[in-house]
Amino acid sequence: MVIIKPESAQMAKYAANAYLAQRITFINQIANLCEKNGADVQEVIAAIGFDQRIGSHYWYPGIQYGGSCFPKDVKELAAYSRAIGEGDGLFVKIDQLNDARPAKLVQKWDQQIKFSGKTVAVLGLSFKPNTSDIREAPALKIIPILQEAGATIRAYDPQAMDESRRFYTKVQFASSILDVARHADVLMLLVEWDEFKSLDFNKLKQVMKGHIFIDTRNQYQPADVAKHGFTYIGIGR
């Protein structure tokens, strides 16, 4: 038990969540640079992890940080910073970068593969694995943007299907991985469920119309996916 002032306890809670959110935002920015210069963000993470001041833990390049705590706590610190004349500080910028990232990613992918008229099969609707909680889930941000780009959306999640049906319009919900991939042009992995870590690309290729795999969690090696005839798109790779 740590005995501290109530004000310190409140700030400690905000500081912990904001720091972890900042690590995700930081590595996402590094991933952006890697995509421009040929580096692989996963290799960068492995290299910097040997520095004990940094460590190899809690580096998760992807779409953005989400869930029930990080977004609201960073936004609270950003709002408080503005209120006390610190509006040009770090927390405001972290919040802005996180909010803007999903649309920028979809825009970049759209330039590569043109979503209009294509069917995108989405794997993962919860905000993280092993929960049905969809608060601030990446799918809530990505799916509407894909639809605005002209894509038809099919979706599957091991636990969050019931909750998700109330939040989406014009989304076709599937019963399995192969079912969601059937006749799809693009397969997009949004959440690193265990069920999604051993995809059978040979079977997927047989049921899919197109063969593009967007791995937003960097769960697969690009060369391994390419061996099965898929175009691999990851984060920072």
Domain of 20, CATH number, reads: 1.10.1040.10
| Whether residue 89 sits in one domain with residue 173 | no
Annotated catalytic residues are 69
Torsion angles phi and psi, residue 186, rounded to 5: -135, 135
Query: What would the pLDDT profile of 123-133 be if each residue is shown by its tens digit?
Result: 999 999 999 99
159-179 as b/e: b if 16+ CB within 10 A:
bbbebbeeebeebebbeebbe
Q: Is the pLDDT of residue 68 over 90?
A: no
How many domains does the structure of the chain reveal?
Answer: 2
pLDDT digits (tens, 9 = 90+) for 23-44: 999 999 999 999 999 999 999 9
The structure tokens listed for 76 are 């609270």
Asked whether residue 177 falls in the same domain as residue 217, the answer is: yes
R_g of the chain computed on alpha carbons? 19
Question: Do both 113 and 224 map to the same domain?
Answer: yes
| pLDDT value of residue 169 | 84
Per-residue pLDDT at 192 exceeds 90:
yes
Q: Is the pLDDT assigned to residue 81 strictly greater than 90?
A: yes
Q: Please, what sign has the CA dihedral across residues 80, 81, 83, 88?
A: negative
pLDDT at 67 over 90: no
What's the CA gap between 104 and 123, in Å, rounded? 20
| Residues in the chain, overall count | 237
Phi, psi of 29 (to 5 degrees): -70, -40
1 is a domain residue? no
Domain enclosing residue 109, as ranges: 105-233
Cα 95 off chain centre by: 15
Strand partners, 232: 213
> CATH code at 228?
3.40.50.720
Which tokens in the block code for residue 50? 């040997």
pTM for the model stands at: 0.94
Residues 36, 136: one domain?
no
* Token code pair at residue 91: 């927390």
Mean pLDDT of the chain: 97
Single-letter code of the amino acid located at 133: D
For the residues 91-105, what does the mean pLDDT come to?
A: 97
Note whether 68 and 118 are same-domain residues: no
Whole-number pLDDT of residue 161:
96
Decide if 145 contacts 116 (C-beta within 8 A): no
Longest C-alpha distance within the chain, in Å? 61
Q: Are residues 77 and 126 in the same domain?
A: no
Using the predicted structure, report yes or no on whether residue 159 has a pLDDT greater than 90: yes
